[in-house]
Every structure is written in C-alpha cells, then in structure tokens.
Chain A
Amino acid sequence: MKTALHRGVLSPFLPVAFLMLLLGGCANVPVYEQGLVSKVGMTRSDSMVQGDRVNLLPQIEPGSAVSGGAVAAGCTVCR
C-alpha cells in the first residue's frame, strides 16, 4: 500500500469522536451567541447549495459511503 493512513484508522479516530461527543454534552451556548455557528457553511446540510457533498464520489472511493446513501458502491461480485 502506498501509505499507511488507513492502518488502524479507527483506533485514534474514535477517541477524538468520543471527545467531541463529551464536549458537546458539556457545552451550553445560548441561542443569542450562535450567530456564527448558524451561518451557511457552518451547518451540516443535505442541500446541494448549502452542503459540500460530491454525490458521485462513493463510486470512485468505496469507503466513503459511510453515512447516507446505499451500500451500492461496493464491487459487484463481492456483494
């Protein structure tokens, strides 16, 4: 393999995700202070205008189909 980025990717990744979850549980940001985090580009969106997803990408990068979409990006024979 050209790089080893994928090796054990979930082991460092999950603690970071878990930390973000914990921080979320501690956060208490009143609505009147959420002007910046509510702007377009700061919110997750399925909109083609407001989001930044490339819908055809999982056809080329099969491991990208993690959230949303069908599992159809896998190879034909394997399925």
Chain B
Amino acid sequence: MVGLFALSCLTAGFAVSPNPLEVGGELVDAGDVTLFQGSWVGDFVSEDWESSLSLAYGHYSMNYVPAPFDFRGMDRRLNETNLAVQFNTQKQVKNNLSLMGGAGVYDGFTNYRSVWLDEYFRQQYSDLPGVPGAENYVVADPKGVNATVGARWEYKPGTGFAQIDLSWLEDDVSPGYEIDFDGLRRGKIHLHTGSVSISTENVLTPRLRSYVSLRSSKTSERFTRYGADASLYVAVVDDWIMRWNAGGATENPQFEAAYIGLALEHQIEEGVSWFVDGRYYDDTGEIENALLFTTAAPGLASERFGLGFRWIGDNWSSRFYLARLRTDYDPTRKDLDFFQNLYLDRDWNIIQVAISRSL
C-alpha cells in the first residue's frame, strides 16, 4: 500500500528523474543457517523533493534441531521469507533546513531467531488437548508498519549538520509462550515502538569528518533502550582512508552491548579502491523475563574480518565485500537449555554485492 502510494506520488505529483538505481544482495551463511536479503532502491529527485523507494526481499533457511532431551521436538528444515517496502522523502524548506518523512510496511519474520523460536513453540504448544490455556496458542503472522518524521539543519554551511528523527512502529510478532501449573500463557502479539534519534555530522578539518548519533526507543512492556553510535573518517594521506566506528546500547534490567570497528581503504586509482575491515562486538545477553526456561540469548562476543572492493564509475558503480564472522556465546547449562542449538557458536560467511546505475 505504501509502495503504491509512493509510486503514485512519484509519477503524478511532480516530474521526477531517478538518480540512481541500486540493486544489491547480501548472503550470510553458517552452514546450518542461511540468511539472504535482496534489495532494490530508487532515488527520485525533483526540483523541491528528494525521495527514495526501496523494496527488500529476505529469505531465511535453517536446520531446526531440538535439544537432545526435548522429547516433543523433531528435526525440521525451516524456510521463511520477508517482504518490505519503504518510502522516504525530504524537502528543503529553507536554505539550511530540510524536513523529512517516510513510511514502510513489511510482511514476514524479521529475523531467523524468531523463525527458530516460533517452530519451538509450535512443536511444544500447538497441540495440548486438555491443558488449561491451550487455546492461547496462535499461528504466527508477523507483519508491521512504520512511519518517520524528521528535520535536518545545516547549522554550518557545508560543514555541520544536525538531525532529529521521530519514529513510530507497529509490529505483529511471533509471540512467546510460557507454561506452568496454571496452564499455557502467551506473550503480546501486537507491539508498539516509539523512538527518537538525534545525530550530527561535522567536517572537523580538511582530513577529518565525524558522525555522532544518540537514540532512545521504547517498545511495549520493555524498558527504554538507549544507544549511541559514532564514526570518525580520517583521510590519512591522499589515497588512504581510515574509518573508526564505535557504539553501544543499554536497556534495563540487564542488557548492555558495545562494538568497535576499523576499516582501511586504499584508492588504487580514480574511482577504484579496496578495503579491509575488522569489528568486535560484545553484549551481556538479552533481557530475561521468562518464568521457567528462558528464550533470551546468552551473552555474545563476535569478531568480524572482511575484504572489499569498490568501483565508482561515471554511470555504473559497484561494491563487493567478503567477510568472516565468528560468534561465541556464553556457556549455558546444556542439560536445561532448550535453545542450545539456536544460540550455537558459529562461523558465518558474509557476501555482499551491490551495483548502482546513475541515470
């Protein structure tokens, strides 16, 4: 619906010229879990408006393997898809001020862990004749909508920018379940999220650019999550670039996460460059509010190393990236942990390919 609305605006409201069009694919594979996302993005620029329409297709496939002591569990091969449409636009209302807005919809699971957990709950609780609350089980139908408004202020012409964004999300999720002597209970299906983010981007010197973002978001029945993200772009010499990125997030009662990354990019000749990057991520594990067994992820540390190539031409441009990501979860009690095969230490291979065409 949003996509059709966006297309009608683009074609009927004002003369537009697409600039540019991008297609990209991203594959993240660990052998037993494979994630894919394909995207198409079109930018449309008119005299007063800059707009973009993006379509994304996600496919998640994985081997569902229950814990050895899960006598109700069965091995299965799971496949799920996700479709998303997003429209964003901005209009310059003054020389140094632009207003922005956007909206989007999606249909399908938003992450592979939801798919895995949904299968676990289906096997455990979809057929419980005579158990109180058995009727609480529902077949999941995840989907959602979002809307964003914001403003961007160029407080120093060409040098300093500040931006504020307000977002609203409505999600129908695959709910969680808990069972005890009172019967089967179901978590919320419909969740509301509101978030605000402020960010600033500055040219500090002829060789330094910085970006800082602070964000808070509040989802139904959870505490507010606060996050920060900062990047520093350094032109070390004329043909070498260094990019630092660091950030973190915190949410009561116990979630904390932090990450730091570094990329080095070398321009071989005009428009042609290669780069290497590395990143370290660490968190304490997710919020735990289950009664008996928790589905929350244990603490995670991960390391990523990658190598990429970028070519920027007059009309066509492309980027290719290969990386290896190793995830290492905190140990859990294997005799109690039903989710040990979900939160398994894995070696992931990441492949990204993107091509853009300027018209």
Contact = CB atoms under 8 A, between A and B. Distances in A.
Interface in B240-295: 241, 243, 246-250, 255-260, 263, 265, 267, 273, 275, 277, 280-284, 286-290, 294-295
Given A24-B160, A43-B233, A62 B297 contact: yes
Contacts of B238: 36
A57 B208 CA distance: 27
Contacts, number: 286
B209 A76 contact: no
Interface residues of B, number: 121
B296 to A, nearest CB: 5
Interface string A43-77: 11001111010111111111111110011111111
Nearest to B116: A76
Contact of A60 (B214, B302, B308): B302
Nearest to B88: A46
Give the interface SS of chain A, mostly helix, strand, loop or mixed.
Answer: loop
Contacts of A17: 212, 214, 228, 230
A18 to B, nearest CB: 8
A15 B258 CA distance: 15
Per CB-CB distance, the 3 closest pairs between chain A and chain B, nearest first, are A63-B257, A24-B202, A77-B176
Given A63-B256, A79-B221, 10 more contacts: A10-B228, A29-B203, A29-B204, A29-B205, A54-B352, A63-B227, A63-B283, A66-B213, A66-B227, A79-B173
Interface of A: 1-3, 5-7, 9-10, 13-14, 16-17, 20-21, 23-25, 27-29, 31, 33-37, 39-44, 47-50, 52, 54-67, 70-79
Interface of B: 22, 24, 26, 28, 35, 37, 39, 41, 110-114, 117-118, 144, 146, 156, 158-160, 169, 171, 173-176, 187-188, 191, 193, 195, 197, 199-215, 217, 219-222, 225-233, 235, 238, 241, 243, 246-250, 255-260, 263, 265, 267, 273, 275, 277, 280-284, 286-290, 294-297, 299-302, 308, 310, 312, 317-319, 321, 323, 325, 327-328, 330, 348, 350, 352, 354-356
